[in-house]
Structure 1
Amino acid sequence: MANASTKTYFATSIHEIGIVDPVKEADLMDELKAGVFMLSEEDEAGIAWCESQGYLGYTSYASLNDLPMRIPAFAELEKRLVKAANAHARALGFEMGSHKLSMDSYWVNLLDPGAGHSGHIHPNSILSGTFYLDLPEGASAIRFEDPRLPFMMNSPPLRSDVADDEKRFIYFQPEIGQALFWESWLRHEVMVNMADDPRLSISFNLS
C-alpha cells in the first residue's frame, strides 16, 4: 500500500509585532492617546460622519488624511509601521522590485463600550493593519475570516478542538503597543467592545 500524505497550501498570514514598548516608551504612548482624544473633540467633520453612520465613538477615517503633519507622535508611529510593513512584505515573498510600501491611509479609532465594527475588507491596498493603543479590560478582539468561506457550500461544521489553521474564524486579542498586519483582501471585524472604557487603535493601509 502506498504511503499517504497530506500537505497544507494557500496559507493566509497574519503578522504580529511590537511597535512601541508601552513601558519604556510611555511618553510616546501618552502623546498618541492625547492625539486621539484631541481629534475626537475637535474634528467636526469626523464627528458628524460618525453620527450620520451610527458609529459609536469616533474615527478619523472619513475626515482626516494628514495625521503625521498634525501630531509628531503620529509621524514617528507611521515611520515604524512602514518599516515593519516592508519587512513583512519581503517575508511574504512579494516581488516588489524597487517599490517600497508607503502609507496610503492612516486613521484613529475610538470605539465606545457596546460598539463594534462589522466585517469588511480594505480594497485598493496591499497590506492593512492596526496598532493597539489602549485596551481596557474587556476590550473586544479582532476576528479574521477564512477567505475560502464563501465557497464552502456543503462543508460540515468543524469540531471545537480543531487546530487554529483549520478554523473558519480566528480571534486575536491584541496587546497594547502591538501591531497586526494582514493582506488587505482578508475580511475582518471588531467584536463588540465589552469594556467600560473606549478601545483605542490606529488603523492603516499601505500600497
Structure 2
Amino acid sequence: MSEIRSLFVTRLYRAPLSEMGEAPDAAEMEASCYSIAEDDEAGQAWCEENGYPGYTSYASLTDLGWRFPIFADLVKLLDLHVAAFARDLEFDLDGRELKLEDIWINILPEGGMHASHIHPHSVISGTTYVAMPDGASALKLEDPRSAMMMAAPARNKDAREEMRSFIYVAPNVGDVLIWESWLRHEVPMNMSEDDRISVSFNYNWA
C-alpha cells in the first residue's frame, strides 16, 4: 500500500504572551518603545546612515531587559515561551538552557519594509508585537529548501499550507512568534499610515 509522509518539518510557535503570565501593558510598552527611540541618538544615526526606514535599536541597544523594567518583565515571559518551543523541537541541550542573546525594538512607518534575512549566529529567534494597525504587514516566512528546488514547478495557489513556498502570518498585538534562526523571513512593506511596532529577540545555547 502506498504511503506519503511529511519529513524534516519546520516548526513555528505562536502564542499570546499572556499565556505564560501577566504580560506588560500594551500601551505602556508602545510608549516605552517611542521614548527609547527618541533618546537613542546612536540608533537614529545608524538608521539614517544605513537607509533603514523608521527606527531599530538593533545596532545600538540590544540589552533592553537590563536597562528598562518593562522589558525585564517581557524577557521573563519570553524565556518561558522559548523553553516551551525548545521542548517541542526536542532539542538535546545537554543540561544547559537557551539564553537571551539580544532583544531590540523595530518601528516601521508607512512604506517601510525589512528585507529577507536569517539570524545566523543564534538558535532561536522571534518577535512579539506591540502595534499592528490595519494594513500593517504580516510576517513572511520562506521555505528553507527554496535554493535546492532548481527546476521544480510553482505550487498551486490553493496548495495546503505545508506545501507552499511562502507563508504569511498576521500576528495580533500581544502575540509572540518564534522560529529556528535559520528560517529566512521578511517584513513586506507596511501599507498602514501608522507605525508597525515590534520587539525582536535571539536566543543562544549557553
Class of the TM-score when normalised by the shorter of the 2 chains: over 0.9
Alignment of 1:114 onto 2:111: yes
How does 1:54-133 map onto structure 2 within 5 Å? Answer: 54-133=51-130
Residue 203 of structure 1 aligns with which residue? 200
User: Any gaps of 5 or more consecutive residues in structure 2?
Assistant: none
Q: Matched residues in 1 for 2:39 and 2:18: separation? A: 26
Tell me by how many angstroms 1:69 deviates: 2.5
Deviation string, structure 1 residues 7-41 (Cα, Å, up to 9, x no partner): 110110010011048xx86x622221111001111
Q: Matched residues in 2 for 1:6 and 1:55: separation? A: 45
Alignment of 1:154 onto 2:154: no
**Which letter does structure 1 place at the counterpart of 2:5?**
K
How does 1:162-181 map onto structure 2 within 5 Å? Answer: 162-181=159-178
Runs of 4+ more than 6 Å apart = none
Residue 184 of structure 1 aligns with which residue? 181
Q: Matched residues in 1 for 2:66 and 2:100: separation? A: 13
Tell me by how many angstroms 1:65 deviates: 2.6
Q: Matched residues in 2 for 1:99 and 1:151: separation? A: 34
Aligned residues: 202
Q: Secondary structure at the match of 1:32?
A: helix
Q: Secondary structure at the match of 1:15?
A: strand
Structure 2-normalised TM-score?
0.95
Deviation string, structure 1 residues 161-207 (Cα, Å, up to 9, x no partner): 11000000000001110000000000000010000100000000001
Deviation string, structure 1 residues 134-153 (Cα, Å, up to 9, x no partner): 10110001100000000011
Using a 3 Å threshold, how does the CA distance of structure 1 residues 133 and 20 change in structure 2: closer, same or farther?
A: farther
Tell me by how many angstroms 1:123 deviates: 1.1
How does 1:130-149 map onto structure 2 within 5 Å? Answer: 130-149=127-146
Residue identity (%):
44
Q: Is the 8 A contact 1:20 1:29 kept in 2?
A: no
Q: Secondary structure at the match of 2:98?
A: coil
Q: RMSD of aligned C-alpha atoms?
A: 1.3
**Which letter does structure 2 place at the counterpart of 1:182?**
W
User: Any gaps of 5 or more consecutive residues in structure 1?
Assistant: none
**Which letter does structure 2 place at the counterpart of 1:62?**
A
Residue 10 of structure 1 aligns with which residue? 8
Q: Matched residues in 1 for 2:76 and 2:15: separation? A: 14
Q: Matched residues in 2 for 1:79 and 1:53: separation? A: 32
Structure 1-normalised TM-score?
0.94
Q: Matched residues in 2 for 1:112 and 1:158: separation? A: 32
Q: Matched residues in 2 for 1:142 and 1:183: separation? A: 15
Larger deviation, residues 106-115 vs 67-76? 67-76
Q: Is the 8 A contact 2:63 2:104 kept in 1?
A: no
